[in-house]
Amino acid sequence: MLALSTAASAEAADRFQPAAPEPGTDIPAATIKFGMRPYADNTFYIIGMKKGWFDEVGVKFEPAP
C-alpha cells in the first residue's frame, strides 16, 4: 500500500502545471547605477550578475559589468 501511494504522489508531482500569472503581477524592470568597493567579500554581486540572477527579476546594471 505504501509503495502504491509513493508512486501515485510521484506521478502527481510530474503532472503539476503552474497557473497562468494574474493580471498586474508582471515583474517591473529597473536599471541600477552600481559601484562596489574592491574587496573580496563583495564578490557575491558579481557572481549574481554573471549567473543571471538579476536578469530573472528584471534588474539591469549601469555601467555593465
Q: Is the pLDDT of residue 21 over 80?
A: no
Longest CA–CA span in the chain (Å) reads 60
Name residues whose C-beta falls within 8 Å of residue 40's C-beta, 6 or more positions apart in sequence: none
For residue 19, pLDDT over 70 is answered with: yes
Is the pLDDT confidence value at 30 over 60? yes
The residues near 60 (Cβ < 8 Å, ≥ 6 apart) are 29, 30, 31, 32, 54
30 with 57: CB under 8 angstroms? Answer: no
pLDDT of residue 34: 80
Q: Where are the domains of the chain?
A: 27-65
Q: Residue 3 has what pLDDT? A: 57
- Per-residue pLDDT tens digits for 36-65: 777 767 777 788 888 888 888 888 888 766
More confident residue, 11 or 19: 19
